[in-house]
Structure 1
């Protein structure tokens, strides 16, 4: 799940394939587990590219611009990259990277969505060929999933 997990082809909503998904967590284990869960729930066949960018380069808790940029580059196909984050500094780090605009692939977008449910919805939609707007909408819609 770190760099190229789930790379797939097929129809996509953009100039070069499927929308990529990056999951940013303060924990590498959490980001990787959520990526694995999303892939498992997305069903068989080709899935959109998804990458985990969790923790710091030395394996600690935190967020890393370097890991986020590397993950976005790994999943960027030209159709856009949806970035989902867990909390706090992950949000701030991605916002800063998007604002700078020169390190992330074109069409990279911070998506306001719940981390787990949003990741599943984003990956399913991207894998079905949804464009970046559709992927963002599906992930954000996950805020409405009621559990009781």
Structure 2
């Protein structure tokens, strides 16, 4: 069985590496890749690293990319322009942690790209406190 791949993009490699560690415990079968830091492994983002991360988890099921801050989005868009086949890659408008969590759970259920994307984006409405 193949799953929708998940790519985590951040200005900090440590942030996405830690998040991946958490997510793998939830759904070890879902392919997850990270792209964090700039070309010199400092803080920043790298379109090349993002492209490589997407390609490493790409399958016919597709890939959902989650990101932390604005320039991560811009670098992801550049990475997609560099790819020959990016129609099955979707960028989620979602919070990084909560969106990645729900996306990984949905992907692990064998859901379609659209359902995984929708689950990630619905995390924006998640109430994290009891009121």
Same-fold call, TM > 0.5? yes
Matches within 5 A, 1:26-105: 26-42=11-27, 46-98=28-80, 100=81, 102-103=83-84, 105=86
Tell me the TM-score normalized by structure 1: 0.80
Hey, what's the Cα distance between the residues in 2 that align with 1:123 and 1:101? Answer: 26
Deviation of the 1:101 alpha carbon: 5.9
**Which of 90, 99, 108 is the aligned partner of 2:89?**
108
Q: 5+ unaligned residues in a row in structure 1: which ranges?
A: 1-9, 11-16
Q: Render the CA deviation track for 1:51-94: whole Å, top value 9, x for unaligned.
A: 11111132100000111011111101121110000012001111
Q: How many residues align?
A: 129
Identify if the C-alpha distance between structure 1 residues 137 and 112 changes in structure 2 by more than 3 Å, giving closer, same or farther: same
Q: Contact (CA 8 Å) 1:47, 1:123: kept in 2 or not? A: no
CA distance in 2, matches of 1:87, 1:51: 18
Provide runs of 4+ in structure 1 moved above 4 Å. Answer: 103-106
Give the 3-state SS of the residue equivalent to 1:73 in structure 2.
Answer: helix
Asked if the contact 2:47–2:78 (Cα under 8 Å) also holds between the matched residues in 1, the reply is no
Query: Using the alignment, how far apart are the partners of 1:101 and 1:109 within structure 2?
Result: 15
| CA distance in structure 2 between the partners assigned to 1:66 and 1:96 by the alignment | 9
Query: Structure 2: where are the runs of 5+ without partners?
Result: none
The alpha carbon displacement at 1:103 in A equals 4.9
After superposition, the Cα gap between the structure-2 partners of 1:105 and 1:73, relative to the gap in structure 1 and judged at 3 Å, is farther
Q: TM-score, normalised by structure 2?
A: 0.90
Structure with bigger helix share is 2
RMSD between aligned residues: 1.6
What secondary structure, in the 3-state scheme, does the structure 1 residue paired with 2:9 have? strand
